[in-house]
Amino acid sequence: MPRSSTRTSSVKRSRSRRAGESAYGALLVARTGVMGLLALLLLVAGVWTSWSTAQYAMLAKGRERGSMTVASCAGERCTGPFVPEEGQGPRKVSIAEAAAPDKGERVEVVLKPGSSHAVRSGTAGVLHAWVPFAGSLLLAALVVAGGMRMRRTAWVMGLLGAVLLGAAFAAM
């Protein structure tokens, strides 16, 4: 009789161990899935934020283009006269202070349709527009490394974000 009770307790332990291993595996899969969704959310938010400005800097054809001379800066915006390449005469527009050169300097810009807000054009403008995406790459790299344990992928994402930030800083 002791043999059969030993055998049943061994089977019970084996079943409970398998159930525990299954639960642990399910938790690992769930953690990886949640962290993957969080990283994806960060990247989508970065692209969404960047595209609201990048579309004007990248797809300038058919939009009102010209040059702006920075006259004054207040708060987060700099203002100055805008001279279009063609069309209407000069008028006053504003540009984000982070994208503006020093006071008195001239910069090529594209106007957002129906507003007096300008977006810097050219390489510097495109790189500046993608800075939020670069930041989201850096944040997502931390999530991928820590939550998903995909260190190589995280290093690539982090380096791409850092290079994009560095290029935007150098171009300005």
Query: Checking phi first, is residue 31 left (phi over 0); if not, alpha (psi -120 to 50) or beta?
Result: alpha
The pLDDT tens digits of the residues spanning 7-25 come to 566 656 666 666 667 778 8
Q: Is 166 helix (H, G, I), strand (E, B) or coil?
A: helix
The mean pLDDT value for 95-114 works out to 88
**Number of separate helices (H) and strands (E) present in the chain:** 4, 6
Q: Which residue has the higher pLDDT, 73 or 172?
A: 73
* Phi and psi torsions of 162, nearest 5°: -65, -40
Q: Do strands 77-84 and 117-120 pair parallel, antiparallel, or not at all (unpaired)?
A: unpaired
Overall fold of domain 61-120: OB fold (Dihydrolipoamide Acetyltransferase, E2P) (2.40.50)
* HEC secondary structure over 25-44: HHHHHHHHHHHHHHHHHHHH
Q: Give the span between the Cα atoms of 34 and 147, in whole angstroms.
A: 9
pLDDT of 6 over the 70 cut: no
Q: List the structure tokens of 58.
A: 């990248």
The DSSP symbol for 63 reads S
Q: Give the span between the Cα atoms of 108 and 104, in whole angstroms.
A: 13
Burial of 42 (C-beta count, 10 Å sphere; 0-12/13-18/19+):
buried
Q: Name the residue ranges covered by the structural domains of the chain.
A: 2-57+130-171, 61-120
The mean pLDDT value for 121-133 works out to 93
The mean pLDDT value for 120-139 works out to 94
List residues bridging with 66 in a β-sheet. 84, 109
Q: Give the span between the Cα atoms of 137 and 131, in whole angstroms.
A: 10
